[in-house]
Structure 1
């Protein structure tokens, strides 16, 4: 295991210290400027999500989920391990300054999120009465490279279906071990059975129950966080000062903390808001909107909601409780300790139960990311069966291994996946830019934008958005 940990650490150092940080920030700035600062179109974002109408691809009005409902559901599904455990580890290991770099990557990353989700809409394909798509599809249809599309499909399957699911089970195990003293072996067995029942037995009722409860728990967590912040409102100016001082302070630069703040902030920010990583476009492609840019704007707003609101709230709670720098606690345990310190032990139990529901729901959702991408590569019952076994095995694995190793493994696979997607959306940016220009032109003319593929220089690879 030590040998594997050393290999993972070696490649993480290369990818995160020298490559991905530069790429994420550089492309974020590039997309921001070239798109005319699209992520700051806050008024337009709220206009889109408050539009009660849903549309078919040809622009005819129909009954369906409103943009606001779709946003609320997706925002609630974002609240989870990244917001509660990831932020905690970022602050504990990178210092308060990590929050600043989280904010920066969210602001810049929102432009990347707009581009990838808009492209997912442009290149989506019909699947019965629904749509499907994502990076594998726009890589194949836009870049004319099915081989790279397959590489991405395999990468996201491994990243989400296997590694990220290990992160989720690891977080559940830590939360229950800390709060209820549940044995990790027992937790591994319980989670393995629950996951196996859903993915092998097809018993979707468990997944459906968690999907109903998760938005409620997400709202309760946000309310809890806001109440704690209100109780400690006089501390907020000092905390903001601490964050900025730590992000740029000379002491941090001299002591090496400056680099730690940047890396931890960007790593955990990306894990939480997923902007530019290539995961959100898989969901964005399924939306039924009249113009691809609408879904891009919704995605950009989701990035802000996730990081600037929820992650910030968690970060402020941890700082208000003392920061827990150098603590023996890991991830979610830090958040549990913080809320327990501020408002009582009952809150630690609430966090444990909430993270179980958030993480289990994520395990099911991550599994389906992998399943759909396996289907993209090749319809194979054997491959699907092996994948299901691997998912259950990795859930057990995540429960039993160390916090540091499983997050390091997630950082590595996340970096590889993000680099492939960022390469693709950079190559295809001109398409997203033309779509955005068309949207703005129609809005300026007072219209509710409706997209047709003949706006593009080439309609090749675009299966939907015809005028018929």
Structure 2
């Protein structure tokens, strides 16, 4: 395991050099923000309107349903443990750079999800599926790249992210007196069993579960965070001061960029909101909408919900208290993020705080696990170019279930570094692709705005933007 971890560290260290993943994400996000004329701000009201629309057909998945599946993956343990890790290891300024990543990443999320809608494919029952592998194949005419990306998604979500979610969940219970040597194993068994029961139930059950759990847990968590912040209102000016002072301490940042607030803000922001990685487009492609831009707008909203709302709630809840983040950074650089969150909320709400965090983490982790897995079976279909046999699919699901258990008993360094490496590989594959194909999303946006000005409910036709690539939808036959 030490040898494997060393290789993972080496690859991850290379990927997060300033000129690779950070440059691709930030430069790409800025480019799309300019190309779309700051659509994150000027079309925000339209985004709220679109998310409430019903699907075109009676049995179709609504924009809101697809949003909840992608948000189930985005909104998870990263919103609690990931944010706390960023503050401990990168300093309070990491929160500012997390905000920046989310804002400019909103445009990248719009572009990739709009592309997924344009190139989505039709199931026999009339529903749709798709994602980056399909716009790589049909837009770039590079099926091999779609296969590579599909493998990366499976490795990232079934292995990296799901192992990390399981580890983060069990680490939260370390604050309780009953936590012992075998506790991670017990939690791992229970979590793996629940996970296995859900994924065998299929995608429809997944959508039903996440549509209920995601809004409830998100709203509850934000409300409790606001109570903690309000009860520590006297510390708020100092909190904001520390965020901005640390964020613009460029001498410290460029003196050690790898461990700087910018890098931790970018890494943990990416882990949390996934903008530009190419994960959410898999969910976006399932939505039944009249125009691709509608789902692009909705997926952009998911990034804002995740980072600007829930991640910020965690950061402010912890940093508004008198608990010092520095006390939770070990000499070897390991961050006790769960301990920091638990101590922060306990300092204000007493014994109720750690219990609430444990419950929140359980719900966050569970929806993260099933949201992550939802991306994997579609990728298997793309790799094989056919449906997997029932026996083969059962084996795959069992392996995914076992990995959840392994994550709960693995070391913190291994699971975090594996997730960082895999998400970095997804970025360097997906971002260049959407930079090449992004003009199609911009044309779609222009077509959408033209129809809105004409007083219409926008309906898309591929011919209206001169798209000649093959599409199963958007040909006037729907």
- Per the TM superposition, whether the score is higher than 0.5 is yes
Q: How does 1:1-16 map to 2 (within 5 A)?
A: 1-16=1-16
- Asked if structure 2 preserves the Cα contact closer than 8 Å seen for 1:76 and 1:219, the reply is no
Give the distance between the partners of 1:364 and 1:403, measured in 2 at CA.
21
- 333 and 310 in structure 1: CA distance in 2 versus 1, 3 angstrom threshold: same
Q: Is the 8 A contact 1:157 1:370 kept in 2?
A: yes
**Contact kept in structure 1, 2:60 and 2:287, CA below 8 Å:** no
**Count of matched residue positions in the alignment of Structure 1 and Structure 2:** 462
Question: Please, what TM-score do these two structures have when normalized by structure 1?
Answer: 0.91
Q: How does 1:261-410 map to 2 (within 5 A)?
A: 261-321=261-321, 322-327=323-328, 330-378=336-384, 379-381=387-389, 383-410=392-419
Cα 1:406–1:70 change in 2 (3 A) is closer
| Structure 1 pair 66–159 and aligned structure 2 pair: CA distance change class (3 A) | closer
Residue 422 (structure 1) shift: 0.8
CA distance in 2, matches of 1:189, 1:105: 36
Q: 1:226 matched to which residue of 2? A: 226
SS of the residue 2:122 aligns to:
strand
- Name the CA shift for 1:251/1:143 in 2 (closer, same or farther; >3 Å): closer
Q: What does residue range 126-275 of structure 1 map to in structure 2 within 5 Å?
A: 126-127=122-123, 128-179=125-176, 180-181=178-179, 183-199=183-199, 212-249=212-249, 252-253=252-253, 256=256, 259-275=259-275
> Unaligned stretches of 5+ in structure 1?
57-61
Cα distance change on mapping 1:253 and 1:204 into 2, 3 Å = closer
* CA contact 1:452–1:466 (8 Å) conserved in 2: yes
2:98 equivalent to 1:90? no
CA contact (8 A) 2:69 2:211 kept: no
Q: Could you say what secondary structure the match of 1:312 adopts?
A: helix
Contact 1:77 1:214 in 2 (8 A): no
1:42 to 41, 44, 50: 44
Contact 1:134–1:283 (Cα < 8 Å) also in 2: yes
Which residue of 2 is the match for residue 59 of structure 1? none
Contact 1:210/1:357 (8 A) holds in 2:
no
Q: Could you tell which deviates more after superposition, 373-382 or 143-152?
A: 373-382
Distance 1:204 1:453 in 2: 29
Q: Matched residues in 2 for 1:271 and 1:332: separation? A: 17
| Structure 1 equivalent of residue 455 of structure 2 | 446
Which 10-residue stretch deviates more, 147-156 or 66-75?
Answer: 66-75
* Cα distance in 2 between the residues matched to 1:208 and 1:72: 9
Q: Compute the RMSD of aligned alpha carbons.
A: 2.6
After superposing the two structures, state which structure 1 stretch, 341-350 or 245-254, moved more. Answer: 245-254
**Alpha-carbon separation, structure 2, partners of 1:79 and 1:267:** 15
Judging changes above 3 Å, is the alpha-carbon distance between structure 1 residues 232 and 177 closer, same or farther for their aligned structure 2 residues?
closer
- Greater alpha carbon shift after TM alignment, 316-325 vs 305-314: 316-325
What is the TM-score of this pair, normalised by structure 2? 0.89
Contact persistence 2:120–2:128 (CA under 8 A): yes
Contact 1:162 1:390 in 2 (8 A): no
Inter-CA distance 112–250: structure 2 relative to 1 (3 Å threshold): closer
**Shift in Å at residue 258 of structure 1?**
8.4
